[in-house]
Amino acid sequence: MNLLHPFRRATQFFGLIITNVYVAVIYQNQIYTGLFKSVCLPFLYCHSCPTAAFACPLGVMQHYSAIHQFPFFLVGHLMIVGLLVGRMVCGWVCPVGLFQEMVYKIKSVKIDIPYYWGVLPWIMLIIFIIILPFLTTEHWFSKLCPVGTVTAGIPWILWNPINPTTGAPTIEPGSVGWLFALKLAILGVVLWLFVVSKRPFCQYICPMGLFWSFFNKVSIMKLKVDDGCTECNLCQKKCPEGMKVYEDPNMKDCIRCLECTDCKHIKLVSALPQRELALKKTTRGGK
């Protein structure tokens, strides 16, 4: 049995747990604002979620746009991760990736999203992460992000505890209006896309995915397909993103999940020095 697949699931669930460890919110009725809230994990989650313990990198980028500064430390540490493993955090830790893979298992008509949707992450990054926060000081991506709607907007509205600092309900009466309706509409469309298409949020919306996509070709860890490939496309069927890995093993949308390495012709290799990793052997229990 290939232990790589259950191990990847385990690390994805670990990503879900680590971003939601602030269970004290149940009796404190307030979002965590301690030391860890100034630390970013390198993937997408909402830092306004009641149980969130860390800051979302996209939220921090918007904050820096709003105060007209560049997030050198954040971008620097993300670049180090990218240069080491490329887009691997998307395949191994991000809970939004896990959720999309689970929802795609729902039986339904599946569709191919037109390639030109690939411009959307650029729009999200340039307009909603940089320009609009820069001009208005508002965090526009976070305002509309469907991940935020699921993990922060809806839970807070349903729970609406009394804030111990102000003595008032967390959500003021009458404050839920057209913006929340718009968020729900976006969420509905995105959830439908999750069912009918492979990881659409990662491929066509997430600016973090766009950021990571620049590193697959330059990272130390790389995928390699050898000459024995017969183009049978079994790897494409297993791939959470539907990629033909033999066309370009280090293409930008590859999340380095390694699901395709079931095929003996695909290996994860290190560029420094050039030798195949023992990962495949060890995860197969030496088989």
Q: Which helix (H) or strand (E) holds 84?
A: helix 72-85
Quick one: tokens of 7? Answer: 């191990």
Site for ligand SF4 in 247-286 (CB under 6 A): 254-260, 263, 265-266
Q: Which of 116, 23, 130, 12 is nearest to 70 (CA)?
A: 130
**From candidates 24, 26, 181, 234, binder to ligand SF4 by CB under 6 A:** 234
Say whether residue 202 binds ligand SF4 (CB under 6 A): yes
The residue (of 67 and 281) whose beta carbon lies closer to ligand SF4 is 281
Which letter does DSSP use for residue 237 in this model? H
The residue (of 46 and 263) whose beta carbon lies closer to ligand SF4 is 263
Say whether residue 85 binds ligand SF4 (CB under 6 A): no
Give the SS3 label for residue 252: coil
Site for ligand SF4 in 43-72 (CB under 6 A): 43-44
Site for ligand SF4 in 88-117 (CB under 6 A): 90-91, 94, 96-97
**From candidates 126, 135, 232, 271, binder to ligand SF4 by CB under 6 A:** 232
Handedness of CA 264, 268, 274, 276 (dihedral sign): negative
**Interface segment toward ligand SF4; rule CB under 6 A; list 77-85, 101-109, 240-248, 269-277:** 240-248
Length of the chain: 287
Q: Round to whole Å and give the CA distance between 48 and 152.
A: 6
Question: Min. distance of Cβ 136 from ligand SF4 in angstroms?
Answer: 24
Q: Round to whole Å and give the CA distance between 202 and 216.
A: 15
Strands (E), 143-273: 221-225, 266-271
The residue (of 153 and 249) whose beta carbon lies closer to ligand SF4 is 249
The residue (of 85 and 266) whose beta carbon lies closer to ligand SF4 is 266
Nearest position to ligand SF4, beta carbon = 209
Residues 6+ away with beta carbon under 8 Å from 171: 156, 157, 160
**From candidates 201, 222, 267, 283, binder to ligand SF4 by CB under 6 A:** 201
Quick one: tokens of 50? Answer: 């009641």
Burial classification of residue 215, based on how many CB atoms lie within 10 Å of its CB (0-12 exposed, 13-18 middle, 19 or more buried): buried
Phi, psi of 169 (to 5 degrees): -60, 145
The residue (of 25 and 56) whose beta carbon lies closer to ligand SF4 is 56
**From candidates 103, 130, 229, 269, binder to ligand SF4 by CB under 6 A:** 229
Q: Which residues bind ligand SF4 (CB under 6 A)?
A: 43-44, 90-91, 94, 96-97, 201-202, 206, 208-209, 225, 229-235, 238-241, 243, 245-246, 254-260, 263, 265-266
